[in-house]
Structure 1
């Protein structure tokens, strides 16, 4: 592997140096528009070079027979041994030999590719760059430099080529202040995810001769996950075939992924371009396996209307029936989308692995969109395991990340259970950072985490729970309203600040009618204040009903209208909470709750809420009760809490001794300065 990485670095640095030719005529942020498509084109060129003469000869024979070149593609690809071909007489060496017609010849060369390969180049919008390079007198220099690098698979393996593409994207993204991690995932992370994905199936299932399986990534980037999964399955069983599918929104990443799949002999038409949520390119497909590293914390506002429409109109018949997360983070939308593509258990079921940050574990209270999605997954017994990864593992973020394993074909021992694996300490520090990536998983770390997952046993790094352990009921705890009321000058002043009182002298009407309404309102305000002023006294009411009876009597006697809103405003202005006052009741005799004393408790699903109430609440507030109609069910996964290790505080003597030593050291330093 070290030789491969050396070769990969040399090739990457050489290609990167070509970008320097563009300096001055291109902004740094634009270098990728030239270098990436040229790299793909040169790779295609090198792959086809051994059979170039045979293809041209066969093409001449086909033309002599009067056949359509498009219809002849299967014949020509049988000559190349690849899923693509090129019928143009040009290659990079012959292009270089005719500098005067280079732009036209290069375009003709691209037109000579078979349909899938042409589609790749088209998504780079490459013709625009050819013309721009030609105008700047740079086209020949770039072609000449790329012609000097040999990217044939015998010199650069598919694995190395994937690394080259990803490293180039990372560097270009850094220069343009874009997010490199949106395009690809560190290969060792993918390797771990593939291990976890295949872990339950390795014995027997994946070793059968001639087995064919499908794998899908709805945010496939440059195709790293698809490639690693294919490589790993080949290691397990060289007779196995993995058909890969994917969809990607970024045009350049899509083109590179499609090129990579084409070069590996996959059917490149299975890689789709577009937004997986609004333009699902594989709408009717179901898959055996799925992998994804969707963007972290990316809002889905642009597609909000389409997703909300599907949620409302199709419910569980669509992809998002369980609920919608907040618009600021679409991670759980990807998971629901993938679950919709699981095969039924009768068809063999499916397994998927997806990378999340910490937010999907706990964001959202009971019956929020996120909580309802977690509930749907857990109550359907689909969540198999969650693995906490080390921080600083990804190129674009240093935050902690988690791999969720979701399946609808758990083995019997795992049914009704969820395994949490704490892998945060399984890493090695890189000799040189790449963006935010300072840590990496070694093969030993991947093997150890995979072993812990496969053994499915409790241990220092593994905890096993029942599904219900992550559910809770959010109960609303009410306490009675008790008011102490006294009419004072301060209370009357507070009444003038109450909205219902202030609204009396306002009007939406215009002209004379409005002026009349305002005048009447002012008069009413004055009457209310005068009437209430007559009630100023030292008397304190601890019974709200007694106060209201007297209040209504005084207002009636003075002929002043007392509306319900003004009555409520007077209570708010003149009343205050008092634990010794009598309980307030509504017109039906029911105890009225105090909104300011309202509290909430999360009670584990496995516990009876009234038992919890008697034990945890009643000893402190005996008059509290549960409003049963407001009880909600929620699910969250407090991962770190389950692996928290208590560290006792240092003894006071030790801390004191350390402080004294520091003081002595500081005094010594001050003494030296004074001298």
Structure 2
């Protein structure tokens, strides 16, 4: 893990006493950002101060600073880490002045409530030593790369959350998982991305500290140094938002493209679409508090709203982000868009026919938006060992992939880490990643242990209700006034009939014939008096990923099991003898 992160965190030892460990991040994170920006600004500081004396309009000043320095942000204070300690008595006021005189786009310190921390540090007699310690660290990008700086921030956040007994999963997606996601996201567009001077857009609605955005940009620039990737994101955690925005500022991006707020209730980029979208939304997070707003948007948005296809259970909102991203893809007539999103297993199969989750899958599959789903190894994330999956969506699929979904079992492509980091004991090495990407690129069933290509209709099914007659005391079926047999609710049953039953390729259109054939072959021979209540038939979609890659493992021979049991019994008896002796 990042040596820089360890060093910065060691400064927290000076806070011990007045601050509890779970409060260290309130000081360390904003000071790290401030020092990073301070180092970036230092070479042109006097030039900017001189420009500020001539141009008093902020917009004009910003334009002049950008022309001279190539950066859109600036600071006009006469203070910096170079001279803050010179005025011991005025250190707190001068540090506040330094923060206040950043250009308007540098709002990150407000989200830490850092002025309050400055006063607390001064009151505790710690401000001077902490500022001195950070002033000794050179965080200029020429010394500390953007990648290393990202590692440092994520290390600090994880340590902060461990001290607070909180999860780091909302903030930090492992770099190896992001790299695989980025490779898959860009894979179908490699030819386009190689063009000189191309400009593309990338959006993350759950941006966190910006790790996904940063790695995606690094990937594209390594592939095509002349390319330009405009980055957009939204984040609702104040500290993560501040880190993400400051990271983009440091790289020269337009930081106004990073918005603060809840994507589900207040889409900061409403009406915007993007070439690429990616996200690792929170799993299993309750969205009851947003339910009224989400439902109201759905009711008023009409047939093309982002949540129109369906709503998941309020106990888990990750499929809301899946729908949101599907509506953020650039239109096919404008070149199309692609989405990469990491989710747990529940969106594959949760909810019965015509439930919200099933209807979401139905909408995605019937509109041919799902291109591939890749199973990741377990124990990949820092706060959970559960199974996770990358979904790739594309609204302008390559002709070979139209009407098809590729399932890739990448769960065995991992390398054991030398030291676990929380629940993370496995990582996807470069070689592992290359194997998975090759499986995707080959787009074939030739290796069925790892790759399956299926028609979109192979995920559909009908849930039918099978009724049996209600009998009177004499065993005679009871009929209503119209002579129709009444159903016995106690004997009512349901059956799931795949669209593909009997080899059908008709999809949803084959409902009557396929369901009747299933009933005649699978139900009628066993319960001759049963019938289908066609009014209750429902259409559902699920993606039974593990079923497609199931491998039968025969049980061990009984003799082998007995032999093992005898060995264990012998050990227990020996231990008992030792105790009794």
TM-score bracket relative to the smaller structure: over 0.9
Q: What is residue 450 of structure 2 aligned with on the other side?
A: 461
Inter-CA distance 441–667: structure 2 relative to 1 (3 Å threshold): same
Inter-CA distance 673–175: structure 2 relative to 1 (3 Å threshold): closer
Match of 2:93 among 88, 101, 104: 104
Q: What is residue 232 of structure 2 aligned with on the other side?
A: 245
> Secondary structure, in 3 states, of the residue corresponding to 1:93?
coil
Query: Is this contact kept in 1: 2:462–2:499, CA < 8 A?
Result: yes
Query: Is this contact kept in 1: 2:341–2:392, CA < 8 A?
Result: yes
Query: In 2, distance between residues paired with 1:671 and 1:314?
Result: 76
Inter-CA distance 433–663: structure 2 relative to 1 (3 Å threshold): closer
Question: Unaligned 5+ residue runs, structure 2?
Answer: 502-513
Question: C-alpha root-mean-square deviation of aligned residues, in Å?
Answer: 1.6
The alpha-carbon deviation at position 120 of structure 1 amounts to: 1.5
Q: What is residue 85 of structure 1 aligned with on the other side?
A: 74
Match of 1:585 among 479, 497, 507: 479
> Secondary structure, in 3 states, of the residue corresponding to 1:182?
coil
Question: Unaligned 5+ residue runs, structure 1?
Answer: 485-541, 543-580
- Runs (4+) of structure 1 moved beyond 4 Å? 660-675
> Secondary structure, in 3 states, of the residue corresponding to 2:60?
coil
Query: In 1, distance between residues paired with 2:580 and 2:561?
Result: 29
Q: What is residue 388 of structure 1 aligned with on the other side?
A: 375
Q: What is residue 511 of structure 2 aligned with on the other side?
A: none
The alpha-carbon deviation at position 606 of structure 1 amounts to: 2.5
The answer on 1:38 being equivalent to 2:31 is: yes
Q: What is residue 306 of structure 1 aligned with on the other side?
A: 293
Q: What is residue 505 of structure 2 aligned with on the other side?
A: none
Query: In 2, distance between residues paired with 1:417 and 1:337?
Result: 22
Query: In 1, distance between residues paired with 2:469 and 2:178?
Result: 56
Query: Is this contact kept in 1: 2:55–2:61, CA < 8 A?
Result: no
Q: What is residue 541 of structure 2 aligned with on the other side?
A: 635
* Equivalent residues in 2 for 1:586-625, closer than 5 Å: 586-607=480-501, 608-625=514-531
> Secondary structure, in 3 states, of the residue corresponding to 1:473?
strand
Q: What is residue 132 of structure 1 aligned with on the other side?
A: 120
Match of 1:27 among 20, 30, 45: 20
The alpha-carbon deviation at position 671 of structure 1 amounts to: 6.4
List per-residue Cα deviations over 1:537-594 (Å, max 9, x = no partner).
xxxxx1xxxxxxxxxxxxxxxxxxxxxxxxxxxxxxxxxxxxxx11111111111111
> Secondary structure, in 3 states, of the residue corresponding to 1:445?
helix
Query: In 1, distance between residues paired with 2:34 and 2:561?
Result: 66
The answer on 1:191 being equivalent to 2:179 is: yes
The alpha-carbon deviation at position 155 of structure 1 amounts to: 1.4
Match of 2:44 among 41, 46, 51: 51
> Secondary structure, in 3 states, of the residue corresponding to 2:454?
strand
The alpha-carbon deviation at position 81 of structure 1 amounts to: 3.0
Query: In 2, distance between residues paired with 1:469 and 1:482?
Result: 39
Q: What is residue 164 of structure 1 aligned with on the other side?
A: 152
Query: In 1, distance between residues paired with 2:578 and 2:289?
Result: 66
Query: In 1, distance between residues paired with 2:218 and 2:534?
Result: 55
Query: In 2, distance between residues paired with 1:218 and 1:308?
Result: 19
Q: After the TM superposition, which of the residue ranges 307-316 and 417-426 deviates more from structure 2?
A: 307-316
* Equivalent residues in 2 for 1:39-438, closer than 5 Å: 39-56=32-49, 58-59=50-51, 63=53, 65=54, 67-68=56-57, 70-117=59-106, 119-202=107-190, 204-438=191-425
Query: In 2, distance between residues paired with 1:285 and 1:99?
Result: 50
> Secondary structure, in 3 states, of the residue corresponding to 1:14?
helix
Q: After the TM superposition, which of the residue ranges 154-163 and 69-78 deviates more from structure 2?
A: 69-78
Inter-CA distance 33–66: structure 2 relative to 1 (3 Å threshold): closer
Q: What is residue 568 of structure 1 aligned with on the other side?
A: none
Inter-CA distance 70–379: structure 2 relative to 1 (3 Å threshold): closer
Q: After the TM superposition, which of the residue ranges 189-198 and 78-87 deviates more from structure 2?
A: 78-87
Query: Is this contact kept in 1: 2:375–2:390, CA < 8 A?
Result: yes
Inter-CA distance 379–138: structure 2 relative to 1 (3 Å threshold): same
List per-residue Cα deviations over 1:301-340 (Å, max 9, x = no partner).
1111111011122232321110111110111111111111
How many pairs does the alignment contain? 567
Query: In 1, distance between residues paired with 2:23 and 2:546?
Result: 43
Inter-CA distance 280–652: structure 2 relative to 1 (3 Å threshold): same
The alpha-carbon deviation at position 70 of structure 1 amounts to: 4.9
Query: In 2, distance between residues paired with 1:477 and 1:257?
Result: 55
Query: Is this contact kept in 1: 2:84–2:91, CA < 8 A?
Result: yes
The alpha-carbon deviation at position 391 of structure 1 amounts to: 1.1
Query: Is this contact kept in 2: 1:83–1:263, CA < 8 A?
Result: no
Query: Is this contact kept in 2: 1:45–1:91, CA < 8 A?
Result: yes
Inter-CA distance 416–27: structure 2 relative to 1 (3 Å threshold): same
The alpha-carbon deviation at position 417 of structure 1 amounts to: 0.6
Query: In 1, distance between residues paired with 2:123 and 2:96?
Result: 15
Structure with bigger gyration radius: 1
* Equivalent residues in 2 for 1:388-537, closer than 5 Å: 388-458=375-445, 459=447, 460-484=449-473
Inter-CA distance 671–126: structure 2 relative to 1 (3 Å threshold): closer
Query: How high is the TM-score relative to the length of structure 2?
Result: 0.95
Query: In 2, distance between residues paired with 1:286 and 1:70?
Result: 27
List per-residue Cα deviations over 1:143-196 (Å, max 9, x = no partner).
011011111112110000011111111111111122211012111111100000
Inter-CA distance 66–404: structure 2 relative to 1 (3 Å threshold): closer
Query: In 2, distance between residues paired with 1:669 and 1:66?
Result: 87
Query: How high is the TM-score relative to the length of structure 1?
Result: 0.82
